[in-house]
């Protein structure tokens, strides 16, 4: 019995260690950013980013001025335009916006409307200053309800905060064509 106890302790220890090794998260999981969830209509903030969704719209077509011409863009899905008020907190920050659809898929802001004014990816948030910005996404229409706008630093933010602004409760106003300023 005296010899069984150490063997049992060693076996349990080995099993525990093996369990820890098998469930050890990989590096990317360890340094994932912290997500701050903000309910619809409310203002939230992380270490670097603060903001709220003011309104949202959807459109089948967008027109905007570019180099003196009026450019028209259509999409196979639908354009989602999220209007937000954003502010910097502690340090100047460049942003990246992502729409998390109802299915969990993630959509980056579209590059096809570059030239339209006040887009979130062109914005440089400054501490103490509020800015109005729009984020434009191209996505299937069924990804819009129950989605969320995710705001993060432009560069990969390990162990830093990202802001998840939940979609408004009311459905977005849909227009066939939306004119944006350049």
Partner 1 sequence: MKRLGWIALALVFSLLSTLLVAWPDLLELRRGKNWNVTRIEGASGELAGVTVSVDQARVMVLPELPDRAVLYLRMGLQGDAQRMRDWLACDLGLTDDQGRVWRPLMNVVGLQVIDLLGDEGDTDNSCDQSRILAPEDGSPSMSVQAFLVPVDVLGKLRLRISGMTTRPDALSLPIRPVLRPPPE
Q: Which residues bind partner 1 (CB under 8 A)?
A: 89-92, 122, 124, 126-129
User: Which of 171, 173, 151, 153 lies closest to 52, judged by CA?
Assistant: 151
Please give the C-alpha separations between residue 53 and each of 44, 91, 108, 156, in angstroms, as whole numbers. 10, 21, 17, 23
| Separation CA 132–CA 35 (nearest Å) | 22
User: Which residue, 21 or 104, is less far from partner 1 as judged by CB?
Assistant: 21
| Separation CA 121–CA 104 (nearest Å) | 22
38-63 as b/e: b if 16+ CB within 10 A: beeeeebbbebbbbbbeebbbbeebb
User: Which residue, 75 or 89, is less far from partner 1 as judged by CB?
Assistant: 89
User: Which residue, 78 or 123, is less far from partner 1 as judged by CB?
Assistant: 123
| Separation CA 121–CA 151 (nearest Å) | 10
User: Which residue, 36 or 121, is less far from partner 1 as judged by CB?
Assistant: 121
User: Which residue, 123 or 148, is less far from partner 1 as judged by CB?
Assistant: 123
| Separation CA 51–CA 157 (nearest Å) | 18
16 contacts 47 by C-beta, under 8 angstroms: no
> Cβ 93 to partner 1, closest distance in Å?
9
> Cβ 44 to partner 1, closest distance in Å?
19
> Cβ 122 to partner 1, closest distance in Å?
8
> Cβ 130 to partner 1, closest distance in Å?
8
> Cβ 86 to partner 1, closest distance in Å?
14
């Amino acid at each position: 019995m005296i010899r069984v106890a150490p063997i049992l302790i060693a076996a349990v220890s080995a099993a525990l260690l093996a369990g820890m090794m098998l469930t050890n998260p990989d590096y990317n999981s360890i340094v994932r950013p912290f997500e701050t969830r903000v309910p619809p209509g409310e203002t939230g903030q992380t270490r670097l980013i603060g903001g709220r969704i003011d309104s949202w719209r959807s459109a089948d077509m967008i027109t905007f001025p570019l180099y003196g011409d009026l450019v028209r863009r259509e999409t196979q899905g639908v354009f989602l335009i999220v209007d937000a008020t954003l502010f910097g907190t502690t340090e100047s920050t460049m942003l990246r916006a992502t729409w998390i659809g109802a299915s969990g898929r993630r959509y980056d802001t579209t590059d096809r409307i570059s030239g339209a004014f006040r887009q979130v990816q062109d914005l440089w948030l400054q501490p103490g200053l509020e800015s109005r910005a729009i984020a434009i996404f191209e996505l299937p229409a069924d990804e819009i309800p129950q989605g969320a706008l995710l705001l993060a630093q432009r560069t990969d933010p390990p162990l830093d905060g990202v802001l998840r602004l939940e979609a408004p409760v009311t459905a977005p106003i849909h227009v066939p064509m939306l004119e944006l300023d350049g």
